[in-house]
Amino acid sequence: MNNSLRVLIFLLLAVAVSRGADSSLFPFVLPWDDSSPGITNMSSLLDKPAGGRGFVVVKDGHLYEGGRRFRIFGVNTVFGASFPTHADAEKVAARMAKLGINCVRFHHMDNQQTPMGIWSADMKTLDPEQLDKLDYFIAQLKKNGIYADLNLHVSRFFPDMPKWEHMPGFFKGVDNFYPPMIAMQHDYARQLLTHVNPYTKTAYIDEPTVAIIEVNNENGLISEWWAGSLDAMSDVYREELGKLWNQWLSAKYPEKDALQKAWGASAEPLGAEMLKEPAFEKSAGPGSAWSLEQHEGAKAATTLEDGTLHLDVQQEGTEGWHVQLVQSPLTFWRDKHYTVTFRARADAPRKIAVVASQNHAPWNSFWSVNVQLTTSWQQFRFTFQPDDGDQNARLVFSNLGAAKGNSWLADASLRTGGVAGLQDSEHAGAIPVFKKSEFGMRTLAAQTDWMTFLYDTEEHYWTGMQRFLKEDLKARSLIVGTANGYSPPSIQAKLDVVDVHAYWQHPHFPHKQWDMADWTVNNIPMASAPNGGTILGLAERRVAGKPLICTEYNEAAPNTHAGETFLLVNAYAALQDWDGIFVFAYSHRHDDWDSRRICSFFDLDQHPVKLATLPAAVSLFLRGDVSKAKDAVTVPVTLNDAISASLRHGSWWDMGVFGMEEQLPLLSRVQFYVNAQTSAQPNRDVTAGLTAAVPIVSDTGELTWNMELGKKFVTINTPRNKAFIGKNPDGPVHLDDITIEPLKNMQDWSTITITAMDGRDLKTSSRILITATGYAENSGMHWATPEKNSLIDGDFGKAPSLVEGIPAKITLPFPSSRIKAWALDEKGQRREEIKVQPSGTNTLIEIGPASHTLWYEIETGNPVN
């Protein structure tokens, strides 16, 4: 054996060991610059140039262009990915068109200076070279039939603005009311949108390729206040909000003593002490009313120091709740007021949680608050109303296991009552900004006024920004405010288009947000979720009469069930009759287009399994292969309903708050009718049509979410598209006259789609694409756990990406004498012919790992158009 051969064998063995994967995996990389014709090329669905029919408009609650419905299947380009070189822009735009992408959302452009952002070094003026790259990219997108969605404020830290510790990212919430920040938003919009693109000869305010302008990403005054992130804001912001607050109160209560009279009703003094050993007379443990819980290997100990409980966490948990201090049993009643007080400090800044919850499975929480400890003693007081009750409940100091270290607690108390209107030092004209941490101390009348003030202030911001864009700048594009939930649906309905965001199994960072070496992504398929996974949360925020788009959607890598991602969301988006789905993201990378591996949690551009499923997914939604649901459930919501819901849930309220059955979006269309004049019952029972029976079949009969015992899969059965998604069944799945039988594979889980690619029904189609996906990973991935929910040091491994070939038997309703089939290469080109077999009057096609592919082309023998 010569030295070269020894080296080759050694390298091959090293690769096999390092990836720790099944030996049947093979490389499969879709070239970053491929726009070649072929059966997988979806660019025929795109009209060229984008905007050639005029601006996208809203008609009958949907997007239209040139008098016909317009649906979006888009992507996000993030940070530097929005600024490719001219040569790369041409290739990226053409490749996007091949994938069926018809809109690009330009996201986080405002975060940094060149080369990852649009700013010059001063973070106030646009960098000319970056602007030129953006202009050329948009011109290339336009040429290829791809629209633009321009985001304004996403992640810019406004320069020269005071910051404070633990503030929300990018001044969220504050930029809804603080005039200098709003002025900066106006200035950025003016610089960007009135600029003339030299390659299209048109300013962006007049460019029909710009379908959408978004005001502010994942932002809202109510949501940030509700999260408590504005409680400690700098004085300059507190003074501005306080001025607006007192002006609002003066307008509502012009009469002397009217405010005190309104707020003073239903005040409730403090009641008796509910805790045993509130002064920590004993160390937690046997003989004490307090118990110390330790889970999953976390270790901690308590000692008593002059009425102070010293907690020493010696080994952190994988979750913060793996160490918690508990007193039980206690009784909490729904909607009754309770006040908890305590003093605390820590040896280093750390966040703990205080929770009222069940003292038994399923351990539901009735109320909770996060508390930021410092090295100095602080007095904390929280008054709350549980949203449920239980006579076997408990009070918990939780999140103690998030990090090693020491904390001290003293003078704990839990009492009923503690509600007042005006405090002793307060009077009309001098009412301080309410803190979320102290909100429960106020009477319902005071709380309602505060929430209504926040609501009015936030609505003024969003509608004011829309007026500025449309009336001052004369922008002709549709305006989106922010993602629904970060702002109440009834406010966002004031703008042109309603937006939502959703992720299945978003990365979880147990100790520090966005620590790329310390995270988990649950390796769970959505097709096995009994309630429809993300479909519920998206559908429950739909507003009647407004287009609904989802500008951020994905299943986070390295989840090994990625093939389901866009098949599921696109199918149910079509059932719900939404108007757009955007992948988050195409890429976050500046110029690394040819990485040939799955690059991160979210990037689509090099994920082989997600890319391979796009022809079928795009057909389901853009082409309309899935029909909209026949029935629609409409839930009316008045302004008072919206304020009441915001009092209970902040901005994160949806149709579930009004009693809608969570599985209903799998069956029928659902929508709010917001800003209704009077409260009314839904147009039909929001729980009708659903029982414990499974599967859940859409009212069109085309989509089935199958949760029968031992069956966890979804099927799609339309004239032009058939699909199986999920856990392998015990036998074949019959979809009319087509049969799909997945066979044993690495996870006993797969997605298999059969799509007519010429626009005709499968029965009459001349060309069919079969796609089969399952497990995928990168070379050299080192899984941190057997569940494959994390990677050692967060390392995503090396190129090339590896996939499994899915074995399956597929029966098509054509005589075998007419059928030809090919395994396709990564470009979707024919690589080798595969054999077909007769099965009565039908044809049996067996696919599998030997073909080293994820997709197959079928010629049926039917006449070509």
Q: What is the 3-state secondary structure (H, E, C) of 682-751?
A: CCCCCCCCCCCCCCEECCCCCEEEECCCCCCEEEEECCCEEEEEEECCCCCEEECCEEEEECCCCCCEEE
Confidence at residue 15, expressed as pLDDT on a 0 to 100 scale? 40
Closest CA to 442 of 426, 424, 419, 425: 419
Confidence at residue 682, expressed as pLDDT on a 0 to 100 scale? 67
Closest CA to 118 of 523, 499, 590, 492: 590
Strands 196-197 and 202-203: antiparallel
User: What are the angstrom distances between the C-alpha of 15 and each of 222, 774, 781, 859?
Assistant: 52, 21, 10, 38
Which residues lie closer than 8 Å to 688 by C-beta, 6 or more apart?
Answer: none
Tokens found for residue 623: 């082409």
Q: In angstroms, how far is the first alpha carbon of the chain from the final one?
A: 58
H/E stretch holding 145: none
Confidence at residue 593, expressed as pLDDT on a 0 to 100 scale? 97
Place of tokens 């708050």: 657
Distance, in Å, from the CA atom of 310 to the CA atom of 496, rounded to the nearest integer, reads 55
Confidence at residue 405, expressed as pLDDT on a 0 to 100 scale? 95
Distance, in Å, from the CA atom of 676 to the CA atom of 393, rounded to the nearest integer, reads 39
Tokens found for residue 793: 């040091």
Q: What is the DSSP string of 492-548?
A: HTTSSEEEEEEEES--B-SSSTT-TTS-B-----GGG-TT-THHHHHHTT-BTTS-E
Sign of CA dihedral 560, 561, 562, 563: positive
Distance, in Å, from the CA atom of 475 to the CA atom of 466, rounded to the nearest integer, reads 10
Which 8-state DSSP code applies to residue 168?
P
Closest CA to 153 of 216, 96, 82: 216
Closest CA to 597 of 608, 589, 587, 586: 608
Asked if the domains 71-214+464-621 and 290-416 are classified in one and the same CATH topology, the answer is no
Judged by DSSP in three states, 42 sits in: coil
Confidence at residue 774, expressed as pLDDT on a 0 to 100 scale? 98
Q: Looking at the domain 71-214+464-621, which fold is it?
A: TIM Barrel (3.20.20)
Q: Domain coordinates of the chain in residue numbers?
A: 71-214+464-621, 290-416, 632-676, 696-859
Angle between helices 614-621 and 565-576 (to 10 degrees): 10
Distance, in Å, from the CA atom of 30 to the CA atom of 551, rounded to the nearest integer, reads 24
Q: CA angle, 551 as apex, 547 and 554 as ends, to 5°?
A: 130
Q: 290-416 has which CATH code?
A: 2.60.120.260
Distance, in Å, from the CA atom of 558 to the CA atom of 790, rounded to the nearest integer, reads 8
Confidence at residue 530, expressed as pLDDT on a 0 to 100 scale? 86
Order across the sheet with 842-847: list the strands.
733-735, 738-742, 808-812, 842-847, 836-839
Could you tell me the mean pLDDT of each successive run of 10 residues in the chain, 865 residues long? 37 38 84 98 97 97 96 98 98 98 98 96 96 98 98 96 94 98 98 98 98 98 96 97 98 92 88 92 86 94 90 92 96 93 95 96 93 94 91 96 94 94 86 93 94 98 98 98 97 98 96 90 94 94 96 98 98 98 97 96 98 98 97 92 94 91 92 77 61 79 86 95 96 96 97 96 97 98 95 95 98 95 98 96 96 97 88
Confidence at residue 690, expressed as pLDDT on a 0 to 100 scale? 56
The length of the chain, given as a count of residues: 865
Confidence at residue 111, expressed as pLDDT on a 0 to 100 scale? 96
Confidence at residue 75, expressed as pLDDT on a 0 to 100 scale? 98
Residue type, 187: D
